[in-house]
């Protein structure tokens, strides 16, 4: 039974947060600048791309959030400001400067994020005018507009909110995200911004965000490409007035459950909106000797182009799944491994003792006709487990990315 309630909402659902999303002109028509601001300074934490060719906004924001205190986030879509040299750094800092000045905040209390085409100089006159418009448009109902403002090839905006009670006080967590392609474990072209009004210790917030990211965003895959611009940022402004949340708080587990749900929901929604995706695939590795082993196997299956294309073709090719486990780097025993396929169409064991089970093809066909499919890999070697999410690889994915810049 959940200890929290899922409600309709986003980053402006928690107390004291305003947001906006406007069209500045970076993109032809759709919203392309978003702004999220708290009434008061926040405890904050961020996790960023592992790509060595990281974008200018990542470099600048990592520095600004280092002390765990921010109050605003400015985001643009349509241009990644990646691989743009020293000018890119200057442009990212200029976005922060303009935002901070317009909000009467210190530059250190604002971080910046960008997403879009790589290697193109930022249209700073357009962006600076857009920042002014975004500040003017700020409202306590602006979260939905902000969710649209961060989108690129996304088909739908991604948002979620939950509420729960801590110390007798109502606490709310809300989030928005974007991501559709270049999605691969270790962060990808995905942005996630989460706000909460909980009163929380800053070091504890950083700890749980890192742990949650490893279990959610780092366990999704659309196409195996790790982006230059990934960012997950959380802002907690304390306006719920609960007793400070930390690792010793008696209701810690209740908060962690809700916090995890928000991030898992956003991560899974990114996968469901994968470019050209027709299948949503959940992979769970169970009874592994170590969590790290289970994660290796799960990620390897999700990243396999051959597995992805087999699911697009609704082909129960168990050999591809087993093969991807084999090169995952996990040390397992072939004679112990079992693999199951399941969906609303039923469940079938497709591998036993490292070999095919001689299942009926029509039984597997019933499973694969559904959009949501689960692969369960039982290693029979321990008690640890891990879960991840991905999608198939379709003709449309090639069309979308073959003409991305045009």
Q: How far apart are the first and last CA of the chain?
A: 48
Instruction: Of 38, 20, 10, 29, give the one whose Cα is nearest residue 132.
Output: 20
- Among candidate residues 189, 195, 213, 269, the one labeled active-site is 189
Rounded distance between C-alpha atoms, residue 157 and residue 150, angstroms? 9
Rounded distance between C-alpha atoms, residue 104 and residue 138, angstroms? 14
The CA-atom distances, in angstroms, between 321 and each of 300, 306, 318, 328, 337 are 9, 9, 5, 11, 12
Residue 188 in tokens: 């990808």
Rounded distance between C-alpha atoms, residue 221 and residue 216, angstroms? 11
Is-catalytic flag, 189?
yes
Cβ contacts of 85 within 8 Å, gap of 6 or more? none
Q: How far is CA 253 from the centre of its chain?
A: 22
Residue 261 in tokens: 């749900």
Residue 138 in tokens: 């700020």
Other beta carbons within 10 Å of 290: 14
Q: Which residues are marked as active site?
A: 189
């Amino acid at each position: 039974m959940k200890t929290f309630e899922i409600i309709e909402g986003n980053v402006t659902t928690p107390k004291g947060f305003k947001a906006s999303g406007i069209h500045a002109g970076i993109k032809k028509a759709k919203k392309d600048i978003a702004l999220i601001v708290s009434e008061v300074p926040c405890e904050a934490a961020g996790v960023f791309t592992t790509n060595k060719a990281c974008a200018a906004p990542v470099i600048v924001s990592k520095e600004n959030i280092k002390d765990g205190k921010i109050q605003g986030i400015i985001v643009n879509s349509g241009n990644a400001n990646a691989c743009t040299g020293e000018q890119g750094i200057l442009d990212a800092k200029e976005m922060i400067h303009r935002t901070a000045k317009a909000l009467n905040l210190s530059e250190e209390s604002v971080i910046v994020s960008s997403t879009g085409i790589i290697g193109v100089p930022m249209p700073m006159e357009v962006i600076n005018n857009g920042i002014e418009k975004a500040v003017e448009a700020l409202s306590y109902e602006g979260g939905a507009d902000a969710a649209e403002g961060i989108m690129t090839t996304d088909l739908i905006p991604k948002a979620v909110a939950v509420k729960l009670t801590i110390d007798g006080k109502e606490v709310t967590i809300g989030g928005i995200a974007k991501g559709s392609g270049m999605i691969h474990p270790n962060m990808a072209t995905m942005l996630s911004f989460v706000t909460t009004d909980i009163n929380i210790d800053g070091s504890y917030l950083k700890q749980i965000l890192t742990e949650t990211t490893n279990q959610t965003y780092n366990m999704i895959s659309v196409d195996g490409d790790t982006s230059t611009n990934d960012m997950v940022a959380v802002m907690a402004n304390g306006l719920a007035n609960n007793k400070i949340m930390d690792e010793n708080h008696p209701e810690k587990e209740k908060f962690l459950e809700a916090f995890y749900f928000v991030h898992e929901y956003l991560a899974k929604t990114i996968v469901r909106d994968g470019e050209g995706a027709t299948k949503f695939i959940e992979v769970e590795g169970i009874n592994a000797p170590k969590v790290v082993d289970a994660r290796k196997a799960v990620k390897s299956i999700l990243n396999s182009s051959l597995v992805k294309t087999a699911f697009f073709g609704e082909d129960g090719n168990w050999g591809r799944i087993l093969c991807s486990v084999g090169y995952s780097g996990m040390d397992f025993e072939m004679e112990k491994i079992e693999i199951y396929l399941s969906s609303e169409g039923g469940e079938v064991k497709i591998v036993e003792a490292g070999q095919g089970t001689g299942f009926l093809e029509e039984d597997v066909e019933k499973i694969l006709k559904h959009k949501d499919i689960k692969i369960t890999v039982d290693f029979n070697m321990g008690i640890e487990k891990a879960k991840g999410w991905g999608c198939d690889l379709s003709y449309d994915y090639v069309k979308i990315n073959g003409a991305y810049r045009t």
